[in-house]
Chains A and B, each alone.
Chain A
Amino acid sequence: MNERPSPAASRLAAGATPAVSARGLTKRFGELVAVDGIDLEVPRGMIFAILGPNGAGKTTLMRMLATLAEPDTGEASIMGHDLVGEPDEVRGAIAMTGQFASLDEDLTGRENLVLLARLWGFRGRAARERADALLHEFDLAEAATRQVKAYSGGMRRRLDIAASLVVTPSVLFLDEPTTGLDPKARQGVWRMIRGLAEAGVTILLTTQYLEEADQLASRIAVIDHGRKIAEGTSRELKAATGSGFLHVTLGDPGQMHEVTRRLERMLRSQVQQSPEGGIVSTPVASAVEASEVVAALVAAGVDVSGFSMGSPSLEEVFFALTGEMGEADDTQGGDRT
């Protein structure tokens, strides 16, 4: 959990206009309301995560904030500049690393960065020096003269993020920065994101993984079907979900209803049933509470054939927040240990 405000965040503290401020942002594609009246306020210097399953509207929301798509209704400002009225000022203050690499595959890593440096206004040698400094910072110096098409997924991501930092942006948008990366590359990107926040960059990132939001962000907004269904610190969201989920595997699935009733009485929280595996799951406050619950079940004669605890998956957060199963089919966020 990352609750410590970065030094830059405290330096810039109250008084300044928020880095991102949105009211009622809405985007339709024909009948489909991809983003439905989203309010957002991201203070300067913060890492803010937008958490939601595939198709929730994360990319569409980011594209609007990065001036790539125009909102149908609603308004937003970035660093005090209105999105629609002052797009060029907004573009001068932001950088976006999209969900899919925005690099020229035919060019080398270095050429990609020199190209962007020149577009920002670095001339001749200054552009080359800026590119080399970035390649060095992002551990890509050795691959500098190779074509991007020969890069690995992790290298591409790093270069793509470096490409967003030619000029240090006030606000950096990262759309699913670690999706598709192996754990080691993911750790690398996380460290990079933390480093940027330390340097005072406001970061708005999207993710499908609760764990990622938890690891990086001071605040998390949960969105689904284009709507924001919850927002808070990781701790607040977990309070709504419990600190983790207890999964109990029943030796006799016939006891499922009885066990469910018992757990609901004991914990006063919602219980999920997965009849196929004979598993019941419920949020618990702590590992101690979980062990007490299991002991009580055994004492009451329930045939417990196994149990485990895991941090809540995105699916379980949705379940806790909305009382219904989320559409998330991706449970990578929950490490069932």
Chain B
Amino acid sequence: MSRATNGSGVAITRVERPARPSAVSNALVFGWRAVLKFKHVPEQLFDLVMTPIMFTLLFTFVFGGALAGSATDYLQYFLPGILVQTVAFNSVYSGMGLSTDLGKGLFDRFRSLPIWPLAPFAGLMVGDVLRHLIAGAIILTIGLLLGYRPENGVLGIVAGFGLLVAIGFGMGWVFIVLGLLIRTPTTVMTVGFTFLFPLVFASNVMVEPETMPGWLQAFVAVNPISLMATAMRGLLGGGATAAEVGLALLAPLVSTVVLAPTTLWLYLRR
């Protein structure tokens, strides 16, 4: 160890590199960063839950009676769907966050470190999962207060939230890729919602597709968001089949398998 003085007259001590940490350890550090962001920017929760709360209240009380006979009956149908929608919409914010970080040179620092290259993204995912769980819990609580009854009880809720996390994970990759490709955060948002709105509205999240034209029904039937909403209803309310859950997990699985390597490729491209 050698010592020298810097400007403030304090010694600069040479520090050697400790043993190289594991990939998992790297990823956990980035997860910790995501948690810190919650601590320092609690306002972000407001963005995350305001839209879904408004959707829940408006749809339940404005359309509920017309769509399902009564607000409470509609809530029984709608609440699992709004959970899926919330996770999908909130994934957009993580893409925006990534785009912002990339524009600031922060990721240049991460890229010049000898760490597992996917670790920063694993950390983003940790943040996403936390966001989804918190937003999901708030929506569910409001639903319960308004009269939603999850017939499958606590186990159903746990399973449903497990599915939410899987959906968020799959969706997360889509927006990480968009965040990597698009330099302006607001463009990420515009592109994200342009892609999500038709997907969410042309699904069975809000209404049964029976009254839709045939071609649209065909789309709604294979729309991953519909499959997710159906599985979520089954898990929370009872009657979920393994096939339904499997179909709901298909899109997140495909997205991860295809987009995780794409992310790495885009990130390391230099």
Contacts and interface: CB of A to CB of B under 8 A. Distances in A.
Interface of A: 8, 63, 66-70, 88-89, 91-92, 94-96, 98-108, 111, 115-116, 118-123, 126, 130, 133, 136-139, 147, 163, 165-168, 187-189, 191-192, 195-196, 198-200
Interface stretch (B36-44, B56-64, B182-190, B223-231): B36-44
Given A136-B10, A167-B17, A168-B14, A119 B113 contact: yes
Given A118-B29, A121-B17, A121-B18, A163 B10 contact: no
A91 B113 contact: yes
Interface stretch (B69-77, B86-94, B100-108): B100-108
Given A103-B106, A138-B6, A195-B5, A91 B270 contact: no
A101 B18 contact: no
Pairs of residues from A and B, 9 with the lowest C-beta to C-beta distance, nearest first: A198-B4, A191-B7, A195-B6, A102-B109, A121-B18, A91-B114, A121-B21, A199-B4, A102-B105
A8 B21 CA distance: 30
A185 to B, nearest CB: 10
User: Main SS of the interface on chain A?
Assistant: mixed
Interface string B1-30: 011111110111111111111000110010
A137 B4 CA distance: 11
A101 B104 CA distance: 7
Contacts of B7: 139, 187-189, 191-192, 195
A200 B12 CA distance: 11
B33 interface: yes
A115 B32 contact: yes
B13 A98 contact: no
B12, B13, B107 pick with most chain A CB within 10 angstroms: B12
B19 A120 contact: no
Given A91-B114, A121-B17, A102 B106 contact: yes
Contacts of A122: 18
Contacts of B107: 102
A200 B14 contact: yes
Considering residues A70, A89, A133, A137, which has the most beta carbons from chain B within 10 angstroms of its beta carbon? Answer: A137
Contacts of B119: 119
B115 interface: yes
A120 B29 CA distance: 10
14 contacts: A68-B112, A96-B108, A107-B37, A118-B32, A121-B21, A121-B25, A137-B6, A137-B8, A168-B16, A196-B4, A196-B12, A198-B5, A199-B4, A200-B2
Interface of B: 2-8, 10-21, 25-26, 29, 32-33, 36-37, 40-41, 101, 104-115, 119, 270
A192 B5 CA distance: 8
A229 to B, nearest CB: 27
B8 A8 contact: no
Contact of A104 (B16, B26, B33, B111): B33
B8 to A, nearest CB: 4
Contacts of B10: 136-137, 139
Contacts of B2: 8, 199-200
Given A89-B114, A120-B18, A187-B7, 7 more contacts: A70-B270, A91-B114, A96-B108, A111-B36, A115-B29, A168-B14, A199-B12
Contacts of B5: 195, 198
A187 B6 CA distance: 11
B266 to A, nearest CB: 14
B8 A139 contact: yes
Contacts of A68: 108, 111-112, 270
Contacts of B8: 137-139
Contacts of B15: 130, 165-168
Contacts of B19: 121
A7 to B, nearest CB: 8
Contacts of A116: 109, 113
Contacts of A168: 14-16
Contacts of A98: 105, 108-109
B105 A100 contact: yes
Contacts of B108: 63, 68, 96, 98, 102
Given A92-B114, A103-B106, A111-B36, A119 B26 contact: yes
Contacts of A196: 4, 6, 12
B6 A91 contact: no
A66 B112 CA distance: 6
A105 B25 CA distance: 23
A104 B106 contact: yes
Contacts of A165: 12, 15
- Count chain B CB atoms within 10 A of each CB in A99, A118, A119, A163 and give the residue with the most: A119
Given A102-B105, A107-B33, A147 B40 contact: yes
A26 B20 CA distance: 32
A192 B6 contact: yes
Contacts of A106: 36-37, 40-41
Contacts of A66: 112
A136 B18 CA distance: 21
